[in-house]
Structures are given as structure tokens and as C-alpha cells.
Amino acid sequence: MQTVTLNNGVEMPMLGLGVFQVTDLNVAEESVYQAIKLGYRLIDTAAAYANEEAVGRAIKRAGVPRQELFITSKLWLTDNSYEGAKQGLARSLKKLDLDYLDLYLIHQPVGDYYGAWRYLSEAYKAGTIRAIGVDNFSQQRLVDLINFTDVRPAINMVETNVFAQRVADHQAMKDFDVQIEAWSPLASGQHNVFTQPLLNEIGQAHGKSAAQVSLRWLLQRGIIVIPKTVHVDRMKQNMDVFDFELTDDEMKQIATLNESNGYQFSEDAHGFQQQLEFYKRFSAE
């Protein structure tokens, strides 16, 4: 498995399994178990996904030495404060039945995330978390956090795929030594990504699927990917992307598919309020 070295020296796999929206706990457990048995070492979950316990059970079942795994979880926005982060991290560790996390992210840039960052920095320095980072942070919020805290985020996870390519955001992260990680690397199946003509044409030249071409395109840009699937055949396919390379011309052709800047919090007051209300309801369910 290809890895990348984060800004604190920790090595992280470039490809892993995401479990967002896998709400059936039996399915979540079996999916993670099968992924680990197939060779996946990066597993990405979150408090808000409500499946940390299932992930923890799968880790125990798989029997792989803990130091070989890279486990990520995330702090939900309702815990964005110093005390909230202390309680949120403790809950995640308990549910996962782990002594430490390899990566822990602030899931959304709202509320007292500075207070949360202070506690996570302490937990990082104490060794309870090997790396800390953020999720869904804009360039402005990321750079603000970097300038007014003493631990630089190792990761910023943002929606990134062939239709939301985040070129400017990616460059900004490079400039400030923060690794980009993609959520929704296969566009959540939107935009007909699996049947997209250009991706399929390029895939045929390499004996690969449109999904594999999409993931390879991100990996060649240096972007970590965590495609979600509960199907073993797709897990195998998603991992089978390290034995070919896209040409410079193919990379440029795929760059023409860009359609949006990806998910962002609304700059409009009412739109932002609606997003917050939605997320508050989501966290209560």
C-alpha cells in the first residue's frame, strides 16, 4: 500500500475504507472486517456516523496487529469546545475499544473549534492521538487555525473528486504543509461517474473501470482517498489501482470534468443557519 508522510512524520496509507452512512451495524462490522482481511489498513469513521462500535468489533475480529492499522475518527460539531472534545474523544476511544487513534479530525468548522483544538493538541502531545486534523475547513479557516495555534493540522479532509477537483484548495494546503484527504472520492455515485464516457474510455486503455481511473487520478495528485463500499468485489477493485499510471495527457483530459468547488458552508447567513440546523438534527439522531 502506498503511503504519505504527514507533516509530523507519521506515515498514512493513501487509500482506505470509509463507512459514512453505513448505519446497519452488522453491515458496518462485516464491511470493515472484510476490508482489513483484504489488506486495507486505513479505516475512516466518525462519531456522527454512529458506527464506531461496529468498527471496533471488526478490528478485534480481524486480528491484525494494532500498529499495522491506521484508524481515523472525527469530533462532531456539538462537541466543538475544550470540554466537549475531551468527552468526545473519550467516547470514540471507548466505542472503538482502542487506546489511541492514528488520526482525529474536527468534523466541521463551527462552534468553539479553537477550544476543541486546544484539547486535541494536548491529547496529541500526550500520545492519545498520533495526528490531528480538520474536515471541511475553507482556506481561510485553515490558515487562521494554523496562525493562532501551536500544532499545525496534519490533514484537511474535503469533498474532492473528478467533478469537484479542489485545485486552488489543494495548492493552498501544499503551501501550508497540510495533507489533503478526499471524502466522496467517487462523487457518491453522482454525475454518472461509473458510466462517464471519458473515464470509461481511459479505463479501457488500461484495463480498468471508471471508478479505478477516478481514484488513480486523485492518487496521482497526491490526494488520500477513502471510497465507501460494503461490497467485497468493489473493495478489491478500489484497491487495485496501484499497478497502472495515467499519462500526463489523460490527467489533463480528466481535469476538464471539473464542475464545482465541492461542498462548502454557505456564506449567506440564512443558508448557513439552515446548514447548522440540519447538522444539529443529524447529530441528535
Q: Which residue among the candidates 49, 113, 119, 124 is catalytic per the annotation?
A: 49
In a 10 Å sphere around its CB, with 0-12 CB exposed, 13-18 middle and 19+ buried, how is residue 55 labelled?
buried
Distance CA 114, CA 283 (A): 20
pLDDT(284) > 50: no
| CATH architecture of residue range(s) 3-284 | Alpha-Beta Barrel (3.20)
Q: What is the pLDDT of residue 281?
A: 67
pLDDT(60) > 50: yes
Identify the residue with better confidence: 107 or 189.
107
Average pLDDT over residues 91-111: 96
Q: What is the pLDDT of residue 276?
A: 74
Average pLDDT over residues 66-73: 97
CB atoms near residue 281 (< 10 Å): 9
Structural element, H or E, at residue 276: helix 269-284
CB 89 within 8 A of CB 129: yes
pLDDT(283) > 60: no
Give the chain's length: 285
Q: Would residue 49 show up in a list of annotated catalytic residues for this protein?
A: yes
Q: What is the pLDDT of residue 191?
A: 81
pLDDT(282) > 70: no
Give pTM, 2 decimals.
Answer: 0.92
Q: Could you read off the pLDDT of 266-280 as tens digits, one per residue?
A: 677 777 787 777 776
Grid coordinates given for 56:
471496533
Q: What is the pLDDT of residue 285?
A: 42
Q: What confidence tier does 95 reach under pLDDT thresholds 50, 70, 90?
A: very high
- Domain edges within the chain: 3-284
Distance CA 266, CA 111 (A): 15
Among 134, 63, 59, 137, smallest CA distance to 100 is for 59
Q: What is the pLDDT of residue 18?
A: 96
Place of cell 456522527: 48
Beta-bridge partners for 132: 104
Average pLDDT over residues 74-88: 95
Q: What confidence tier does 177 reach under pLDDT thresholds 50, 70, 90?
A: very high
Phi, psi of 157 (to 5 degrees): -95, 125
Q: Could you read off the pLDDT of 135-154 as tens digits, one per residue?
A: 999 999 999 999 999 999 99
Q: Could you read off the pLDDT of 178-218 as tens digits, one per residue?
A: 999 999 999 987 888 999 999 999 999 999 999 999 999 99
| Residues in contact with 165: Cβ distance below 8 Å, sequence separation at least 6, in sequence order | 255, 257, 258
Grid coordinates given for 68:
499495522
| Alpha helices for 39-130 (secondary structure H) | 52-62, 82-96, 113-126
Q: Could you read off the pLDDT of 226-240 as tens digits, one per residue?
A: 999 999 999 999 999
pLDDT(96) > 50: yes
Q: What is the pLDDT of residue 279?
A: 72
Identify the residue with better confidence: 264 or 123.
123
Distance CA 154, CA 12 (A): 11
Q: What is the pLDDT of residue 264?
A: 73
Place of cell 470493515: 32
